[in-house]
Amino acid sequence: MPAAQPNGSWASSPGVRASMRSNRGRDTGPELALRRAVHALGLRYRVNTRPLKQVRRTADLVFTKAKVAVFLDGCFWHGCPEHHTVAVTNSEFWATKVETNRRRDRDTDQRLHDAGWTVVRVWEHDDPHTSAKQVESVVRARAVGPRPGGT
């Protein structure tokens, strides 16, 4: 973590601090658009829930019966290959932060896979209706298909 600035904050300026504090952790515009599109397809889900109670990782949409976890990844925070921008200030800190997020995403995907879940990851820039159809396809296939150890 970078050293604290003279104002006692990790942020490089008061403007940066205000901007970062205003970033929402949930109920973002892209999340709401995806949820509306998935709901319009007749699917019901849990929001911002841990698929695996023992692991402190929350998915944006969770379909518990089908065991499908949907993550909507932000382009900056998760290093989108198309839209990720390199921070000018504190670039080393932000590069490390994004790489840590990516490692955690891979670890989360593996843990869920090992527990019999299917993970769907979409980018915040993806069309919500296209993403919703992708989610619907996976959920409906998992809902009717056989599951390991189940009937």
What pLDDT is recorded for position 89? 81
pTM: 0.80
What pLDDT is recorded for position 77? 84
Say how many CA atoms lie within 13 Å of 132 toward its Cβ.
Answer: 19
What pLDDT is recorded for position 151? 43
Mean pLDDT by 10 residues, the chain (151 residues): 55 59 73 98 97 96 98 90 80 91 97 98 97 98 70 43
Residue 123 and residue 80 in contact, taking contact as beta carbons nearer than 8 Å: yes
Residue 120 and residue 134 in contact, taking contact as beta carbons nearer than 8 Å: yes
Q: Which amino acid is at 77?
A: W
Question: What is residue 96's three-state secondary structure?
Answer: helix
6 φ, ψ to 5°?
-55, -30
What is the rounded CA–CA span in Å between residue 40 and residue 83?
28
Give me the torsion for CA of 22, 27, 33, 37, rounded to 10°. Answer: 170
Residue 68 and residue 118 in contact, taking contact as beta carbons nearer than 8 Å: yes
Residue 83 and residue 77 in contact, taking contact as beta carbons nearer than 8 Å: no
